[in-house]
Structure 1
């Protein structure tokens, strides 16, 4: 657990709590959307070939392709922000944060796709995992570094404001000239 100073402690806890609550709410929403049974007359076969459904969507062209691919990108994209927010770390390597967030997003997407194998009307799709992972990474890259920078500046500003002021210097320190050694 990262230590926060007296100026950033309550803010870090508030961010973690808000991030955790929003993360649980978003995951419940995603589970409701992706794991509810659908009453459909036919079901397409599972897609286990990477980029096959993306190519099929692009072949449709126009707004339908944009809607379908955008939906895949946007479904888990909030995890790119909510996972680091729930972690509450301000001082962390941007690359390590991105790697952890993308890995967690990929595993959550994989879990959803595996659970869909037992839900009537829902079909697993490898491209859904790919699109969700890209959406998580994009959201993380667009929001988290800038937000962490702003929060670090804010905490540093508050920390400096809480420090006692230094007294002004009294002037130059006197120096003693070197004295040569007599013979």
Structure 2
């Protein structure tokens, strides 16, 4: 049985498998990149106030602030494309797809931030969570609707053979209902 709104045939399987493999590979890279111990002489304190870290970076210089924003947006941006690709559905609400992708990215980013509390040299930063989610949302908005539209057009332009029709065989035979035999007919004759 095919899910509603999903791509049909082997193209769907190829897209889902490719998306799943790329997603797993990318998540392994993100885990390595964000959860490896860093050898640093000192560590900044955790940033639990939204946008405070970005304000401090921009106060230190526009170059530093722009670099920090670009890194935050780029880290999980591929998830904005890979998550819908692994799902492989064409006929879904664009807003629903965006919300699901943002929620999954936010949860993944939150998980990474929580795991970083146990890694030497890594600190929790709520700004990273916000930037990671915004980056995935931006990538989703820029790529996914256009990709789904292209796939729908491509699937619609293919020559689809007419469905196979079986030859007419007439009316389906019916069997009259058979009643239950009385107990006297079902029991063996009694001997005197």
Deviation at 1:63, TM superposition (A): 2.4
Cα shift readout 1:73-121 (whole Å, capped 9, x = no counterpart): 1000000000000000011000100000000000000000000000011
3-state secondary structure, aligned to 2:26: helix
Distance of 2:128 and 2:139 partners within structure 1: 16
3-state secondary structure, aligned to 1:50: coil
Which residue of 154, 160, 166 corresponds with 1:162? 160
Find the counterpart in structure 2 of residue 87 from structure 1: 87
Tell me which structure has the larger Cα radius of gyration.
2
Distance of 1:145 and 1:82 partners within structure 2: 13
Change (3 A) 1:91 1:43: same
Tell me, yes or no, if the aligned pair for 1:34 and 1:116 is still in contact at 8 Å: yes
Distance of 2:97 and 2:5 partners within structure 1: 18
Deviation at 1:64, TM superposition (A): 2.1
Deviation at 1:25, TM superposition (A): 0.7
Change (3 A) 1:126 1:157: same
Find the counterpart in structure 1 of residue 3 from structure 2: 2
- Runs of 4 or more above 3 Å deviation: none
TM-score, normalised to structure 1's length? 0.84
The gaps in structure 2 that reach 5 residues or longer are: 163-192
Find the counterpart in structure 2 of residue 98 from structure 1: 98
Distance of 1:141 and 1:149 partners within structure 2: 13
Deviation at 1:3, TM superposition (A): 5.8
Distance of 1:32 and 1:61 partners within structure 2: 29
The 5 Å alignment of 1:136-155 reads 136-155=136-155
Distance of 1:58 and 1:145 partners within structure 2: 33
Would you say how many aligned residue pairs link Structure 1 and Structure 2? 161
Distance of 1:2 and 1:17 partners within structure 2: 16
Q: Does 1:76 align with 2:79?
A: no
Change (3 A) 1:25 1:41: same
Deviation at 1:66, TM superposition (A): 1.3
Deviation at 1:156, TM superposition (A): 1.1
